Structure 1
Amino acid sequence: MQKKMIEPAVSGSRNVINAAADVGSVRRVVMTSSIGAVYMDSRRSAGEEVDETCWSDLDHCRDTGNWYCYAKTVAEQAAWELAKERRLDLVVVNPSLVLGPLLQPAVNASTWHVMKYLDGSTRTYANAAQAYAHVHDVADAHARAYETPAAHGRYLCAGRTLHRGKVCRILAALFPGYPVPTSCKGDAGETAEGCRFSSRKLAELGVAVTPASQCLYDTVVSLQDKGLVPFVPATGMP
């Protein structure tokens, strides 16, 4: 698993940087990284704010078997190192879990995060917390990072961190016809907090972060439109 995730991520980043530098006329590359390259660190306390200066700890990723975050971290680090070597202006957007309308006809991992609460396949929600980003905000962040001359470094694109229980309660309130879980898995209760992500730097580019309720609403409507879940009327807009 780790080989399948790490090698393509690193080689893909290096290939893009080299291709852009070889053209000669390219001055800036905007790369999509992930919040996974930012927050994984055992020394970080629950509820602590993280920003674009933070990096995931590779030893912690390795020890916990989180090869996704490991791959995202080493891929972004490789891109920064090579961009400096090739004298290329690199700007990176680090989104959290991306929701909203789907372009593709199939369900991806991010969308499955919501769909599993709608189709009855999941009876409980995990004691975990997650931040969400709307796909329109992520696209806007990339465009502004490319077009704004003063843009530089990394930009976190993430909304407020929510417990899975809160996510399910939002879904149930918006679409009460779905069998959304009402109880937390295990006996711990809703104790997980997760990190707080700062998107203040992104706001300086003029990108506003869409509330999670709108992200969830737009995801469900898109799933309905594509026939991936049965149509259930919403009680209203978020």
Structure 2
Amino acid sequence: MAPASFIPISNTVCVMDASGSLGSSLVNRLLQRGYIVHAAVQPHGEVKGLEGLSDDDGKERLKIFDCDVFDYHSILDVLKGCSALFYNFELPFDQPVYDEYTVDTEVRAAHNVLEACAQIDTIDKVVFTSSAATILWRENRQMMSELDERHWSDVGYCRKFKLWHALSKTLAEKSAWALAMDRGISMVTINGGLLVSDLSIRHPYLKGAAEMYQDGVLVTVDLNFLVDAHICVFEDISTYGRYLCFNHVVNRPESAIKLAKILLPSAPVQAQSFQEDDKTIQQRITNKKLKKLIMEFESHHDDQDINL
């Protein structure tokens, strides 16, 4: 059956938080596709990049809001009149790193935002940005032949090994799903791999990178592919559940060296540290669900601005 396009109540959508690379890129793509966009940033957040995104016509369709995700009424104000929300959590400016306290912060934010969506009659769909880290971590992961979006990271394992990023993303997404199902909110999640845009060695996703590499589950995603995946799951009415999103698997010595050079561009990379066996590690993670959706979406939207 051909996928049907999503027909929203209004042409207005919200992107929250819109200040990071993913958020600002989503704002730009949505403006290009003719939407009116409410771009929500943290109070006193960076908006210069947003103001320069669009042409004169697009500027009239871009509205920038300060939005405190811990202030329920602030969220309601931003969502007013919107048919959809693209939600992506960015760390508060006064809490720049993931630690054990971030978990509660991200869970509370997700709960507040989904609760607000339930109170806005015009909201038809929520695209919730999560992480592949919500899928990867458990005691017996080496025994599993293949991981996909049906799997969840074990929260006890994440706490034990202080994988705060994975724990925070896992509990926030579970909280969002529980509330969405309870309130009857139509929601899909994009569980993205390591985003290579603006990447540094301090990225919290990278804790356990050596283990992910050895397990064949270290995956990355390009910014344009991630944005296109968001547009695809939003505009296709047939989408449901979770979508594991990546377009590169780091499972060969040369790909590991390439990633290491991105993370540490000024440091010499010792090739032999990745080449003990000089072989490709078996990939044990798949995004077949997203690939199938993209293939169907492309075949019925050849005239659209999608380059998946």
Q: Note whether the superposition's TM-score is higher than 0.5.
A: yes
Residue in structure 2 matching 1:59, options 156, 174, 196: 156
% identical equivalent positions: 26
Partner of 2:200: 112
Partner of 1:69: 166
Residue in structure 2 matching 1:200, options 274, 278, 288: 288
**CA displacement, residues 10-61 of structure 1 (integer Å, 9 cap, x when unaligned):** 0111121112111111121000000010110111117832111000011111
Whole-angstrom distance in 1 between the partners of 2:260 and 2:178: 46
**CA displacement, residues 170-214 of structure 1 (integer Å, 9 cap, x when unaligned):** 47999xx97540245699778995863211110122169xxxxxx
Residue in structure 2 matching 1:37, options 134, 148, 153: 134
Q: What TM-score comes out, normalization by structure 1 length?
A: 0.67
CA contact (8 A) 1:10 1:74 kept: yes
Deviation at 1:113? 3.9
Number of residues of Structure 1 aligned to a counterpart in Structure 2: 187
Partner of 1:157: 245
| Pair 1:62–1:160, CA change in 2 (3 A) | same
Whole-angstrom distance in 2 between the partners of 1:204 and 1:28: 21
| Greater Cα offset, 126-135 or 140-149 | 126-135
CA contact (8 A) 2:221 2:248 kept: no
- 1:98 equivalent to 2:195? Answer yes
CA contact (8 A) 1:10 1:71 kept: yes
- 1:11 equivalent to 2:108? Answer yes
**CA displacement, residues 130-184 of structure 1 (integer Å, 9 cap, x when unaligned):** 211111111111111111100000000123431484335447999xx97540245
Partner of 1:138: 226
CA contact (8 A) 2:102 2:168 kept: yes
| Pair 1:152–1:58, CA change in 2 (3 A) | same
Whole-angstrom distance in 2 between the partners of 1:172 and 1:186: 10
CA contact (8 A) 1:48 1:195 kept: no
Which runs of 5 or more residues in structure 1 are unaligned? Answer: 101-106, 116-124, 209-238
Partner of 2:269: 181
Which runs of 5 or more residues in structure 2 are unaligned? Answer: 1-97, 204-208, 297-308
**Higher RCO structure, 1 or 2 (CA under 8 Å, sep 6+):** 1
| Pair 1:37–1:96, CA change in 2 (3 A) | same
